[in-house]
Amino acid sequence: MRDSLIIKAAFSEATERPPVWMMRQAGRFMPQYWEIKNKYSFLEMCKTPEIAADVTMLPVDLLGIDAAILFSDILVTGEAMGGDLSFTQGIGPKFANPVRTQKDIDALQTNVGDKLQYVADAIKVIQQRLNGSIPLIGFAGAPFTVMSYLVEGGSSKDFKLTKLMMHNEPAMAHQLLSKIADVTADYLNMQIAAGVNAVQIFDSWAQALSWDDYTEFSHNYIAQIISKLNRKDIPVISFCKGSSVFAPLMAEAKPDVISIDWNVDLLDMKRRLPQGTAVQGNLDPHILYADKKVIKERIYRLFDRMKGENGFIFNLGHGIMPDIPFDNVKYAIDVIKEYTF
C-alpha cells in the first residue's frame, strides 16, 4: 500500500495524477446501496461485518476510486460509551439519553474496545476483499462533533445546549471531551491494528465554533488524539467543515493531510501550510449536479491550478449529497483518472 497513489500523495510524494476518493462515496446516491439499506437498519449495516464490507466495496467495484473508506458512522464511539443511539429515515441520528449533567458524564464508559470489535472485524473482511488492490481508510468522529450529538441528543442547527455547556460549565465540557478523545484514540489505534491503511478524523460541526472556542474545545483534543496514534506508514487526514478558516491551526496538530472545504483557493491554502502537509479537496459537491461539461471544466480548473504540486488528493469539500446522479459521479472519476500531472 505504501506505493499506492493515495498513500504517496498523503505523504507529499510525487504521483502521476491526483488520486481520488470522495466522502460518503459508499452512500445513498447509489441504487445498489438502497438495495442493501432496504433490508437492514443503518446500525445493523454498520455492526454486521459482511454487510459493512458489501457497502464499503460498492464504490470500489462501481466507481473505480483509488481508496475505499470503511462503512461505519462517526457516532459509534458515542454509542459504545453508553449513548442510546438510533437512526430514523428523514430525521437522522438520535441519542435517547442526552448527556447534560455531571452525572451523565460520569456514567460514560471509556474502556469500550470490546463494544467496537465489530469494526475491527469489518476491516478484516474488507481487506480480504480488497486483496491489496487499493488502500482502506478508517475514520472516527472528532470529540467536539461527537460531543455535540451527545449533548443535543441529535443533529442541531445552532448547537445551543453544547455551547451553553462549553461557556457555563467549561470544566464539564472538558471532562466530556477528554473522555471522548481517549476513546477515539483507542478506537483509531484498534482500526490501525486491524489493518486500515490511513485514518481520517471528521469534525463535521467545527464551523459552528469561533476561533477561540475551536482552539480550546476542538483543536486541542484532535492534537491529543493524533499524538497517540500508531501512525508508522499510516497517514492521518484531518477534516472539518470550516477548514478554509481553521486549516493553519489544524496543521499544528501535525496531521499528514488536511481536507479543505470549497470556500478557499486550494493552492493558496496549501502554501499557507507547513512544508510537507498534503491537502485533500476541494470541489464543491454541488458541481456534481451540473452538466458533464461543467463537471469536467471545474475538475480541470482545480487540477490545472494544482499542477506540479506534490501532496494533493482529490476529494469534495464535503460529502456527496444523496440525490446527485450516479452517472455524474462516475463521469467525474473517469475525468480525474484521465488527467496527468
Q: Any known ligand binding at 319?
A: no
pLDDT of residue 21: 98
d(CA 136, CA 72): 13
Full domain range(s) for residue 82: 5-338
pLDDT of residue 170: 98
pLDDT of residue 283: 98
pLDDT tens for 61-96 read: 999 999 999 999 999 999 999 999 999 888 899 999
Here the cell at position 267 is: 493552492
Q: Any known ligand binding at 92?
A: no
Q: Any known ligand binding at 86?
A: no
Instruction: Count other C-beta atoms under 10 Å from residue 36's C-beta.
Output: 15
Integer-rounded Cα Rg, in Å, for the chain is 19
Q: How many domains does the chain have?
A: 1
Q: Any known ligand binding at 227?
A: no
pLDDT of residue 91: 87
What element of type H or E holds 95? strand 92-95
Q: Any known ligand binding at 318?
A: yes
Q: Any known ligand binding at 219?
A: no
3-state DSSP percent of the chain in helix, strand and coil, to 5: 50, 15, 35
pLDDT averaged per 10 residues, the chain (length 341): 96 96 96 96 97 98 98 98 93 96 98 98 98 98 98 96 98 98 98 98 96 98 98 97 96 98 97 98 98 98 96 97 97 94 72
Q: Any known ligand binding at 261?
A: no
Q: Any known ligand binding at 231?
A: no
pLDDT of residue 68: 98
CB under 8 Å to 225, separation ≥6 — which residues? 140, 142, 143, 181, 184, 185, 188, 201
Q: Omega before 328 cis (within 30°)?
A: no
pLDDT of residue 89: 82
Domain containing residue 330: CATH number: 3.20.20.210
Q: Any known ligand binding at 339?
A: no
